[in-house]
Structure 1
Amino acid sequence: MFDRRRFLAVSIAASSFAASGQALAQTAPAATASSGDAALTAVMDKIVRQMLMTSPETLTSLGLDKGPAAVMKSRLDDRSLAKIEADKIEFNGLMAELNAIDRSTLSSASKIHYDSVKFFGDTAQEGQAFPYGGGLFPSPYTVSQLSGAYRSLPDFLDSQHTIETAEDAEAYLSRLSAMGTAFDQETERMLADFAAGAVPPDFVIDKTTVQMDAMLNADPAGMTLVTSVARRAADKGLEGDWAGRALAIVNETVLPALKRQRDTLAAQRPNATHDAGVWRLEGGDRYYGYGLKFFTTTDMTGEEVHQMGLEQVAELSARADVLLRAQGLTEGTVGQRIASIANLPGQVYSNTDEAKEQLIADLNVQMDACMARMPEYFGRLPKSACDIRRVPKDIEAGAPGGYYQGPALDGSRPGAYYINLRDTAEWPKFTLPTLTYHEAVPGHHFQIALQQENPDAPILMKVLGFSAYTEGWGLYSEQLADEIGMYANDPWGQIGAIQSLMFRAARLVVDSGLHYKRWSREQGIRYMVETLGDQESAVTTEVERYAVWPGQASSYKVGHSEWVRLREQAKATLGDRFDIKGFHDVGLAAGGVPLKVLEGVINDWVAAQA
């Protein structure tokens, strides 16, 4: 079943778009247009209009809830089973139109667009064969510690629903009232998952209900759902009892629906197993293969992923051993020695709000220092700025350690990199620069902002993304920061960079371990703690994440390995003619594409340079 919001935001979280009058699709430049380009443009335009323009939440995320579409600003997406089934039929019709286009009639730029959308469509349609989950994004559980309206809507309303006028505030309250329906619709879908045998593991149910209980047991008057509209309306001088009205809706509609969802999930706890992998589900082995294909954009098997992970962990551990010995750390395993760095004086910030503010200030210094070097390595630089923010306290218990949110396409809202500060012990100082290079500069912020700012890209290609490309670039950016000397006077930070790569290599091992090798949750946690020396609390969150998103954790290192392979191959072919700026610019100008498409883009560039 098709979830349109995931289609347009699977790798790019919450970008936004300019004023509602801007064209929704852009044709290729006339000089490069071929006979089939108009047909492709028409299909891509339909995808944008039919799969985006009918989604109120996506319209808001893209800044299109203005003008004639302003009525959509007071609505939430229809999350019902019936709507998802209708979306699937619509999506399949669009893919049939795409498949009817003769690829040989397309220009070179349009072939990139065609191949990317076709790969996505073909893979998404594979997911329709399974009777559980959304049928698109490979997660067999509608609601988990990482997914569901209870997690996404509070932040969506706070950070993406803009409030400039009284009408905007009224629209906020209308959406708040609709949250009860959204929860109930997802509860209906949960029950369908359960009927198909997709009951989450017991630890997923436990973590999810703990997060829900935190919301249910909180003082409603202090919830972000209530305070956000009141604070922002006051900032704009909008008179009215916004807090009181929001509080009444939360008490009368939102919390009762959340309680129903929580109780429905908790009722399955006696039926849940402790097995973490999807192998236990009907068609589970095939489902993991679908997840790997969707996220890595390759045909790698679980066995190939596992072996790649073991080999890369061994190679990176050897490199880390050399660096550790240079700092006098010679006793214990590599993981134990890396863990011991956190115990050095001054490595861990105090676990106080004041210290966490200082941590974010220090990250800004690191980001600015790296940004100053970027003109040496990129011909195009993002116009959008990047903010560094703390993950909202409401969701930090189950949220990832860090993630990126894209800027507005018109530059009206900066990009943002979020760091989870539930416990500062999870982020000793030697690990922080690498996170900044991955999430912000030159990582996700560069890749996503430049994709959105590309004047030649159709709107669909500004927002479509693939995890292997995006996360692979994030890891490549970590390596690039090391190569250009960002750790020249920071040996601990350099060890942190190697640990980060080891962490992603270990993900290959554990992701395939859970879903292919049939490892237990505890086996995965033990492997990562022993290999990496990370805090068990952080590792536990990671392993539990892999359990609900099969294949996603493998996309990082697979993508990184391909970015590096393509660069080294280009350097070997071009020799002195290799231009690092050109490599970066052409790779990022492609937009978020499958790895095979990226290979073709780079190979064409190399041929042109040669």
Structure 2
Amino acid sequence: MSTQPSPARRQILQALAATAAGAALPRAAGAASTATAEPLHPLLDRFADELLVLQPDQATQLGVDTGARAALRGTVADVSAETIARFAAQARSMKQRLGAIRRAGLAPADQLRYDTVAYATDRASEGTAFAYGRGAWDGFAGGAQPYVITQQNATVLSVPEFLNSVQPVKTAADAEAHLARVAGMARQIDEETARLTHDAGLGVVPPAFIAANALGQLRAFRATPAAAQPLVASLAARAAKAGIAGDWAGRAAGALDRLVYPALDRQIAAFTRATAQAGTQPGVARLPDGEAYYRWALRLGTTTTQSPDEVHRIGLAQNEELLARIDTLLKAQGLTKGSVGERVAALNKDPRFLYPNTDAGRADLIAYLNGCIDRVRPLMPRLSHLKLKADVMVKRVPVDIQDGAALGYMNFASLDGSRPAIYYVNLKTTALWPKYQLQTLTAHEGIPGHTWQGAYLAEHHDEIPLITSLLGFNAFVEGWALYAEQLVDEQGIYADDPFGQIGYLQAQQFRACRLVTDTGLHAKGWSRDQAIAFLTAQTGKGVEAMTSEVDRYCVAPGQACGYKTGHNEIVRQRARAKAALGARFDLAAFDDAVVETGGVPLELLGPVIDRHIARARG
């Protein structure tokens, strides 16, 4: 049985690609130079459709896999080397067609949209300099992934969770699309396997400790009987709820047994061979052109041109500043002995702040997170004039991916309103999240952080070009969420909660330490143990949690630097606006000016605030 889309589905996809003017194909890059200029917004809409053909999962993620895009709902992305090359051609084509538009004739808001797309295409072009990873794809998406398979990246880690939490099952066609994506996993796994074998030939394999964790996850998935896989149970349960007759569980399990598991066996064997001699050096400097690769990765992660040395120095300085503030608060609570890290470590083990490591304890922790959201909502009129609904659901990170998952993360709401934002918390053990840290976590992942920023894109999607939701500017997104943590502190949410304020400052300090650790690993020759020891000693967080963090930085170089870098820039721009406007400064209006960009590289934020200042002055 083929893992490719059916002939009818292929025909629909080909038609969709044709309506996108074929720009996803390499030949379009050459043709674009003779293309006639067209208005910006229709061009951006064409770009979005072209990109969605290459990334069909994003169409479902955004809730736009309907109408002319309906065929995308049952398609798994092609992640082969050939498609990565097509993505490079797509980026070149987009840049050339943008060049046919006279930027100076656009309104300021459209100039910003023009510049954000041009920025992403430039970073994509830079990615073609490297013969491993995802090259242009990573450049456009805004995050470097040097290794094909890691504890965070693999088809069997991403697609099942996507199917369980994002893929709709409301009609028989939806259920068939779900099945098509189950079957499509086999092709995607084989494409990954071909790329990991190619990259291994260049000496590009993850460190041994990453490989061991990733192999354990692959083998655990393979060891689970097909009928017991969550993606099978999820499809069957949702089909039954929707009243869709059929043997959905049996068909999904059959696709796993016949197609996916054999492909996974091939992948496990190839990955085992490729990483048999993997070393323990964690940084990407050891890779071909590794120093240049990290500078590019750091630019993707921060959307600045700061050097690794600059980022490292900023992290060290801000860590010291924040340690001093935490020290003052700890002393006020009678906690005076030991370093700040040692005293925070003691708080993390204090029974007052720990939920039982049981199902009931996890349920209570999630209930508390929902209460944290409720506490912030009344503050929002002081922080924004946008009046967003910002619906959000709090869920535990699925058990089958929690070993490699972040400690907390957000899936934005769909643009069509069919699915709210989902705020995930990793509860492998409840000790990862002492209670005094949870209000700050919720400000970051919930409101006014990721949920609020994503809600603007969803609730105003008719006014915003779709491509805005396909661009990834890590430092803006994470910088806003870290700034959101500061906002709730400034609004007095910790006025009667000194330990909560310690949790807030500790979260800020942790992000400063990320600047030090990421650059230490990739630019200064730090070992994995050295990085874990630094984070543990400085932040007081547990060794297990900090090991997971360091491993995350090893496979996503530069990403961890976006949080504090973005926060620093937003705070700098706010200070500039306050100085310029004086009594006319309106915090909510400033916050809205940032959110209403939809997400931009940090180097484009200054002109946005210039226009905000000019408007406020009248």
Task: Work out which of the residue numbers 474, 482, 488 in structure 1 matches 2:481.
Answer: 474
Deviations 1:305-333 (A, max 9, x none): 10000000000000010000001110001
Q: 1:46, 1:94 within 8 Å by CA — same for their partners in 2?
A: no
Task: Work out which of the residue numbers 450, 455, 460 in structure 2 matches 1:449.
Answer: 455
Find the aligned partners of 2:601 and 2:52 in 1 and give their Cα distance.
21
Find the aligned partners of 2:224 and 2:55 in 1 and give their Cα distance.
31
Match of 1:515 in 2: 522
Q: 2:62, 2:416 within 8 Å by CA — same for their partners in 1?
A: no
Moved more, 592-601 or 236-245: 236-245
Q: C-alpha displacement at 1:114, in angstroms?
A: 1.1
Q: 1:428 and 1:168, CA in 2 relative to 1: closer, same or farther beyond 3 A?
A: same
1:222 aligns to 2:214 (yes or no): no
Q: 2:38, 2:101 within 8 Å by CA — same for their partners in 1?
A: no
Q: 2:183, 2:260 within 8 Å by CA — same for their partners in 1?
A: yes
5 Å-filtered alignment, 1:178-257, equals 178-257=184-263
Q: 1:87 and 1:343, CA in 2 relative to 1: closer, same or farther beyond 3 A?
A: closer
Which runs of no fewer than 5 residues in structure 2 stay unpaired? Answer: 1-15, 21-35, 139-143
- Which amino acid counterpart does residue 546 of structure 1 have in structure 2? Y
- Which amino acid counterpart does residue 65 of structure 1 have in structure 2? D
Moved more, 297-306 or 382-391: 382-391
Moved more, 220-229 or 124-133: 220-229
Find the aligned partners of 1:350 and 1:267 in 2 and give their Cα distance.
41
Match of 1:342 in 2: 348
Q: 2:64, 2:416 within 8 Å by CA — same for their partners in 1?
A: no
- Which amino acid counterpart does residue 44 of structure 1 have in structure 2? L
Give the secondary-structure state (helix, strand or coil) at the position aligned to 1:98: helix
Q: 2:147, 2:205 within 8 Å by CA — same for their partners in 1?
A: yes
Q: 1:202, 1:273 within 8 Å by CA — same for their partners in 2?
A: yes
Match of 2:165 in 1: 159
Deviations 1:102-149 (A, max 9, x none): 322222111100111111111111111100000032111111111121
Q: 2:233, 2:249 within 8 Å by CA — same for their partners in 1?
A: yes
Q: 1:376 and 1:211, CA in 2 relative to 1: closer, same or farther beyond 3 A?
A: same
1:592 aligns to 2:586 (yes or no): no
5 Å-filtered alignment, 1:347-496, equals 347-454=353-460, 455-496=462-503
Find the aligned partners of 1:562 and 1:89 in 2 and give their Cα distance.
33
Q: 1:452, 1:462 within 8 Å by CA — same for their partners in 2?
A: no
Match of 2:130 in 1: 130
Deviations 1:219-273 (A, max 9, x none): 4322112111111111112222221222222122212212221221121233211
Q: 1:415 and 1:457, CA in 2 relative to 1: closer, same or farther beyond 3 A?
A: same
Q: 1:297, 1:466 within 8 Å by CA — same for their partners in 2?
A: yes
Task: Work out which of the residue numbers 555, 558, 562 in structure 2 matches 1:551.
Answer: 558
Match of 2:75 in 1: 75
Match of 1:116 in 2: 116
Q: 1:199, 1:271 within 8 Å by CA — same for their partners in 2?
A: no
Q: 1:180, 1:254 within 8 Å by CA — same for their partners in 2?
A: yes
Q: 1:99, 1:118 within 8 Å by CA — same for their partners in 2?
A: no
- Which amino acid counterpart does residue 75 of structure 1 have in structure 2? T
Find the aligned partners of 1:75 and 1:410 in 2 and give their Cα distance.
20
Match of 2:579 in 1: 572
5 Å-filtered alignment, 1:253-332, equals 253-332=259-338
- Which amino acid counterpart does residue 77 of structure 1 have in structure 2? A
Q: 1:275, 1:520 within 8 Å by CA — same for their partners in 2?
A: yes
Moved more, 305-314 or 135-144: 135-144
Which runs of no fewer than 5 residues in structure 1 stay unpaired? Answer: 1-19, 25-35
Match of 1:17 in 2: none
Q: 1:451, 1:592 within 8 Å by CA — same for their partners in 2?
A: no
Find the aligned partners of 2:501 and 2:42 in 1 and give their Cα distance.
49
Q: 2:226, 2:254 within 8 Å by CA — same for their partners in 1?
A: no
By percentage of residues, which structure has more helix? 2
Q: C-alpha displacement at 1:45, in angstroms?
A: 2.4
Find the aligned partners of 1:37 and 1:564 in 2 and give their Cα distance.
39
Give the secondary-structure state (helix, strand or coil) at the position aligned to 1:374: helix
Q: 1:568 and 1:37, CA in 2 relative to 1: closer, same or farther beyond 3 A?
A: farther
Deviations 1:479-509 (A, max 9, x none): 1111101111111111000110011000000
Deviations 1:165-207 (A, max 9, x none): 2222122112211211110011111112112221111111011
Moved more, 214-223 or 118-127: 214-223
Match of 1:94 in 2: 94
Deviations 1:424-471 (A, max 9, x none): 111111111110000001100111111332343212124423111110
Deviations 1:325-383 (A, max 9, x none): 00111000100001111232331111111210111011101111111111122100323
Find the aligned partners of 1:247 and 1:42 in 2 and give their Cα distance.
43
% of aligned pairs identical?
43
- Which amino acid counterpart does residue 278 of structure 1 have in structure 2? V
Aligned residues: 578
Q: 1:100 and 1:196, CA in 2 relative to 1: closer, same or farther beyond 3 A?
A: farther
Q: 1:37, 1:106 within 8 Å by CA — same for their partners in 2?
A: no
Q: 1:39 and 1:338, CA in 2 relative to 1: closer, same or farther beyond 3 A?
A: same
Q: 1:78 and 1:269, CA in 2 relative to 1: closer, same or farther beyond 3 A?
A: closer
Give the secondary-structure state (helix, strand or coil) at the position aligned to 1:270: coil
Q: 1:457 and 1:267, CA in 2 relative to 1: closer, same or farther beyond 3 A?
A: same
Find the aligned partners of 2:470 and 2:385 in 1 and give their Cα distance.
22
Which structure has more RCO (C-alpha within 8 Å, separation ≥ 6)?
Answer: 1
Alignment root-mean-square deviation, CA: 1.8
Q: C-alpha displacement at 1:42, in angstroms?
A: 4.1
Give the secondary-structure state (helix, strand or coil) at the position aligned to 2:218: helix
Q: C-alpha displacement at 1:54, in angstroms?
A: 4.9
Find the aligned partners of 2:253 and 2:442 in 1 and give their Cα distance.
37
Q: 2:63, 2:418 within 8 Å by CA — same for their partners in 1?
A: no
- Which amino acid counterpart does residue 107 of structure 2 have in structure 1? S
Find the aligned partners of 1:329 and 1:149 in 2 and give their Cα distance.
47
Q: C-alpha displacement at 1:387, in angstroms?
A: 0.8
Q: 1:404, 1:418 within 8 Å by CA — same for their partners in 2?
A: yes
- Which amino acid counterpart does residue 62 of structure 2 have in structure 1? L
